[in-house]
Amino acid sequence: MIVIGNIAYLIDVKNYRGSYTYQNNSWYRGERILINNIFRQIDRASDILQKIFSAKRLHMEIRRVLIFMDPAVKVEIKQPIVQTVLRVEEVAAWLMKLKEEVQLYPKLSPDLWRDAITDSLLPPYCPLNDFSSQVGRTLQLGICCPKCKKFTWTSHRYYLYCDHCGFCQSKELAYVKTICDYGVLFSNSNLERKELKKFLGEVGNEYYLRYQLKKHFELVGPNGSQKGYRNLGSKFEYWFENEQEYFKALQKRCNWKTNDKK
């Protein structure tokens, strides 16, 4: 959030990939209408923030800004909207414009709005002990099939095929979801590649695991094998909330039939 005078610019950053259009009060990805409105999150946050300011008798105007970070994303707005939608290459010019506005609006003590927000914050729930404290309990290692809950897969280059029910899942999605599951169970520790390789079971491939960690997770310290990757301790749906469309699109890889099994 950026505050200039009595105007709060509430910013929501999206890592979506692809082509998006907003028309008839709905978002489309290509020709397909999206069930979830991309504006929903920032609109809800704006409503909550306005209630917080009102409760403290702060007369603040909230302006909503949606930023698409992927340089290759295509965004087209075909109707009037109250939100500002920017692509990443437009952010610098937008910030320069805000800099010019600093002189135009009355100054408001930052302590007023900061204190209002701070007073409304709730600490995130996190158990004191994670699964590592459960002495004597064991885990089923491997990637769990979301359909039948079994753990036996045939691994192909781009996807995994469940030997029990025939369900197909992109390999990238399967790895990332399982890494998140590990993070929830062991929320008090960083994500360590060695332990994740064990957690993935027989289907786990260390080279592919290394690739997915580098692509989707934040390295802690200069050496990933020593310090590991940052663990948010959240389920996949929350950890990658802004990338759900990307992961859904990966399912098309199940149709990339290949003979090589990896």
How many structural domains is the chain composed of?
A: 2
pTM over 0.75: no
Mark whether 56 and 166 lie in a shared domain: no
Kindly give the parts of the chain with pLDDT less than 50.
Answer: 224-225
Note the pLDDT of residue 84. Answer: 94
**Contact status, residue 157 vs residue 257, Cβ threshold 8 Å:** no
Question: Per residue in 196-213, pLDDT tens?
Answer: 999 999 989 999 999 999
Note the pLDDT of residue 224. Answer: 45
Phi, psi of 16, deg, nearest 5: -65, 150
Boundary residue ending a domain (98, 120, 142)? 120
Mark whether 137 and 215 lie in a shared domain: yes
Mark whether 52 and 144 lie in a shared domain: no
**Contact status, residue 168 vs residue 254, Cβ threshold 8 Å:** yes
Residue partners of 15: CB distance under 8 A and separation at least 6: 69, 70, 242, 243, 246
**Contact status, residue 208 vs residue 160, Cβ threshold 8 Å:** no
Q: Which range of residues forms the domain containing residue 168? A: 131-255
Question: Per residue in 98-108, pLDDT tens?
Answer: 888 777 776 77
